[in-house]
């Protein structure tokens, strides 16, 4: 089952999986658009799914089980991008970012997990971002949603591993998807004069990168097929040379910050004996 399967990275993943002969449940808010984008294929079920609606998620999973009898892999791919300085983003925009990029994958996963538990097998693959590893200027909403994904997925792995269910977080760098198109990217709507100059430069940067990203989503789709076939499934896959460089930077900074205050951090134990000591 692949969310947002009719465009961008989701479409490339869908086509790659179908080409290998696997059955696919392709989902999207506009069922007709998804079906048209993919084209006819054997063992393809296209269903409507707004990931922000838990009832939609439950109905999509039921339709999948009714058609194929089981589900083996969920790919949480759907996302959007609310770009802007935190002060200029409205509460509604922040809520919409989290609803789609964090709570949405939770809705779909919650609907899928009972099926995977019954099978005692399955995979939950969630597309995060390098924004799940490091925050960046103009990306507070997006990074908040992706950092949330990271913590949720790491915790979920420990919860579902006893049932034979594996989770994988994918951290792509810049890939030539549709995330930066007008359909997927929204800018902050509450301008503040202090940010004017920097906002103009940021908007120019993000609009200018649409269609210029170095990563090839078709190659990423093939890489995910390779990773998904590994047993056990790794917990993380860094996608793209820029993602690898970002992860190395994050690890180096964390190590530096750990070393810088190691003595102070290690001297914070309570000097008083525990209340129940000696009982």
Tokens encoding 70: 């089981």
Q: Any catalytic annotation for residue 219?
A: no
d(CA 78, CA 113): 18
Numbers of helices and strands, H then E, in the chain: 10, 8
**Rounded to the nearest 10 degrees, how much is the dihedral formed by the CA atoms of 263, 265, 267, 272?**
180
> Is 146 marked active-site?
yes
* C-alpha to C-alpha distance for 54 and 106, rounded to whole angstroms: 9
Residue found by looking up tokens 């997927």 in the block: 184
Tokens of 132: 């799940």
Length of the chain: 279
Closest CA to 6 of 43, 40, 46: 46
- Among residues 15, 101, 128, 184, the one annotated as catalytic is 128
3-state class of 172 per DSSP? strand
Contacts for 11 with CB less than 8 Å, ≥ 6 apart: 5, 37, 38
Is 228 in contact with 123 (CB distance < 8 Å)? yes
Among 101, 129, 142, 166, the active-site one is 142
8 A C-beta contact, residue 18 and residue 92:
no
How many CA within 13 A on the CB side of residue 65?
Answer: 14
Among 82, 101, 145, 146, which one carries the catalytic annotation? Answer: 146
15 catalytic? Reply is no
Residues taking part in catalysis: 128, 142, 146
């Amino acid at each position: 089952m692949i969310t947002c399967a009719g465009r961008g990275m989701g479409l490339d993943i869908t086509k790659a999986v179908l080409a290998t002969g696997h059955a696919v449940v392709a989902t999207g808010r506009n069922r007709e658009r998804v079906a048209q984008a993919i084209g006819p294929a054997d063992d393809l079920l296209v269903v409507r799914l707004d990931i922000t609606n838990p009832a939609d998620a439950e109905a999509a999973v039921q339709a999948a089980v009714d058609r194929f009898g089981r589900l083996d892999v969920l790919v949480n791919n759907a996302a959007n991008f609310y770009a802007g300085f935190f002060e200029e983003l409205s509460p509604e925009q922040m809520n919409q970012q989290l609803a789609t990029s964090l709570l949405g994958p939770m809705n779909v996963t919650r609907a899928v997990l009972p099926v995977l538990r019954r099978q005692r097998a399955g995979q939950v693959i969630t597309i995060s971002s390098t924004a799940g590893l490091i925050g960046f200027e103009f990306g507070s909403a997006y990074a908040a949603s992706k950092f949330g994904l990271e913590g949720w997925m790491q915790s979920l792995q420990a919860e579902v591993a006893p049932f034979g269910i594996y989770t994988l977080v994918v951290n792509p760098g810049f890939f030539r998807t549709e995330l930066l198109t007008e359909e997927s990217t929204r800018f902050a709507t509450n301008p503040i004069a202090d940010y004017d100059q920097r906002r103009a430069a940021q908007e120019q940067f993000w609009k200018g990168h649409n269609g210029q990203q170095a990563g090839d989503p078709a190659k990423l789709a093939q890489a995910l097929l390779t990773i998904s076939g590994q047993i056990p499934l790794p917990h993380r896959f860094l996608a793209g040379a820029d993602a690898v460089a970002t992860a190395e930077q994050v690890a180096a900074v964390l190590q530096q910050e750990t070393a810088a205050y190691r003595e102070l951090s290690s001297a914070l134990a309570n000097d008083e004996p525990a209340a129940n000591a000696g009982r």
